């Protein structure tokens, strides 16, 4: 019976490594888009910083225990990949997001991890207490890893768009949670098994949200797309229901056009139409005395 249990422990451990590695690779399309657009847009760095911290903790926990080589292999790969993702984010993130990410990195992965190592090494009375302390800390931060994508879930529910929640990441996260749950259960290591129950739950939630909102992305783009400019002679009709960023840019263009127009002379319409000496620009600006023309 013990031999059979060890066999299945190895099976779920290897499968957990394979699926978890796929989880670590799932954000590659996301960061390829970031690299292509040279901007992070609405993407968040928090899940990757927390995942890096969790991987570091699990390596430390595995080093304190025996027969945990599979934990070391997958979390080592996780540390490398998460570091690459965070580096790409830092390159293309706006200054404010870059500073926030660096502050989070220093406070968790440097200061926090250092304090945990010091606490485990000097506060624990023996090897068993040291394993118990680090195990509880790993359990808590594993829960944080699974809870971190909830900020993306909130964004999906608010925007009704799954653009920033890749389906493959949610799928492999769920499968990984299942594999590591049975691995921890067979090892009788509940520090591994318990947090993966939450991982499975949140993974299912993300996939349900993806199925609900996957078809609303196109409709949302159609509803919020930039309105066409309808030209009637020299009058430009501007839709006033534009996004705030577009409206701000349009206002700037309108102000610039008004400044240019103030220095232009009227065009003589009786002149030869084939010889255009001047371009007439007329901009419709909403005033209190007049009602703006709305498409």
N- to C-terminal Cα separation, the chain: 75
Give residue-wise pLDDT tens across range 255-274. 444 443 444 444 444 444 44
Q: What is the CA radius of gyration of the chain?
A: 28
SS3 194: helix
Distance separating alpha carbons of residues 123 and 107, to the nearest angstrom: 21
pLDDT tens-digit profile of 86-97?
A: 999 999 989 888
Q: What is the pLDDT of residues 232-253, one digit of tens each?
A: 444 444 444 445 444 444 444 4
At CA 16, angle to CA 131 and CA 51, rounded to 5? 65
Burial per residue of 19-48, b for 16 or more beta-carbon CB atoms within 10 angstroms, e otherwise: bbbbbbebbeebbeebeeeeebeebbbebb
Which residues are within 8 A (CB) of 132 and not within 5 positions of it... i.e. 6 or more apart? 124
Burial of 92: CB neighbours in 10 Å, binned 0-12, 13-18, 19+: middle
User: Which stretch of DSSP H or E encloses residue 228?
Assistant: none
Percentage of residues of the chain with pLDDT beyond 70: 69
Instruction: Give the tens place of pLDDT for each residue, 147-157.
Output: 766 777 777 88
Helix (H) or strand (E) holding 57: helix 46-64
Rounded to whole angstroms, the Cα distance separating 196 from 13 reads 14
């Amino acid at each position: 019976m013990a031999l059979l249990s060890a066999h299945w422990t190895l099976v779920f451990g290897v499968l957990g490594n394979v699926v978890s590695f796929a989880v670590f690779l799932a954000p590659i399309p996301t960061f390829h888009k970031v690299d292509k657009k040279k901007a992070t847009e609405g993407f968040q760095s928090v899940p990757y910083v927390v995942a890096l911290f969790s991987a570091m903790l699990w390596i430390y926990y595995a080093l304190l225990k025996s027969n945990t080589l599979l934990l070391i292999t997958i979390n080592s790969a996780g540390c490398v990949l998460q570091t690459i993702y965070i580096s790409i984010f830092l390159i293309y993130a706006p200054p404010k997001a870059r500073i926030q990410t660096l502050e989070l990195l220093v406070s968790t992965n440097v200061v926090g991890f250092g304090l945990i190592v010091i606490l485990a090494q000097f506060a624990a009375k023996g090897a068993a207490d040291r394993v118990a302390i680090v195990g509880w800390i790993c359990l808590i931060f594993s829960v944080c890893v699974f809870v971190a994508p909830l900020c993306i879930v909130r964004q999906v529910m608010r925007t009704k768009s799954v653009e920033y929640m890749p389906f493959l990441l949610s799928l492999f996260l769920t499968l990984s949670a299942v594999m590591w749950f049975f691995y921890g259960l067979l090892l009788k290591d509940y520090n591994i098994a318990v947090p993966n129950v939450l991982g499975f739950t949140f993974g299912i939630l993300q996939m349900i949200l993806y199925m609900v909102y996957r078809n609303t992305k196109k409709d949302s783009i159609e509803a919020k797309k930039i309105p066409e400019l309808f030209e009637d002679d020299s009058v430009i009709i501007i839709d006033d229901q534009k996004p705030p960023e577009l409206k701000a840019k349009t206002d700037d263009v309108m102000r610039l056009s008004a400044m240019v127009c103030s220095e232009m002379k009227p065009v003589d319409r009786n002149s030869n139409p084939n010889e255009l000496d001047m371009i007439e620009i007329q901009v419709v600006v909403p005033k209190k005395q007049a009602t703006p023309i709305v498409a």
